[in-house]
């Protein structure tokens, strides 16, 4: 279930009626992330550098150029 809410005085307040019992636990997902937090650098992702030791892939551009060449 997805619902709109606003944050006021330390509390998330639904913008529509909800039918939950008092004390029901919920999980809140904020699509924009944390306020003031910078986006991750690509270097922080686990996949970064996974081909660093490969001799057949010197860099992404030359690798893409090679695999896109027609093979006759």
pLDDT digits (tens, 9 = 90+) for 13-65: 999 998 889 999 988 888 766 666 666 788 888 888 887 888 888 888 888 88
**Cα gap 72→61, rounded to integer Å:** 22
Is pTM beyond 0.85 here? no
Let me know the angle formed at the C-alpha of 43 by 40 and 46, rounded to the nearest 5 degrees.
95
Place of tokens 């060449």: 69
Report pLDDT for 72. 80
Report pLDDT for 17. 92
Q: Are 15 and 6 in contact (CB under 8 A)?
A: yes
Count CB neighbours of 5 within 10 A. 15
Count CB neighbours of 51 within 10 A. 13
Report pLDDT for 34. 65
């Amino acid at each position: 279930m997805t619902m709109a809410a606003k944050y006021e005085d330390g509390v998330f307040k639904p913008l529509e009626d909800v039918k939950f019992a008092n004390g029901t636990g919920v999980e809140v997902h904020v699509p924009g992330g944390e306020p003031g937090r910078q986006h991750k650098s690509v270097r922080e992702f686990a996949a970064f550098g996974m081909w660093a030791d490969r001799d057949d892939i010197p860099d992404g551009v030359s690798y893409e150029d090679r695999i896109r060449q027609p093979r006759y």
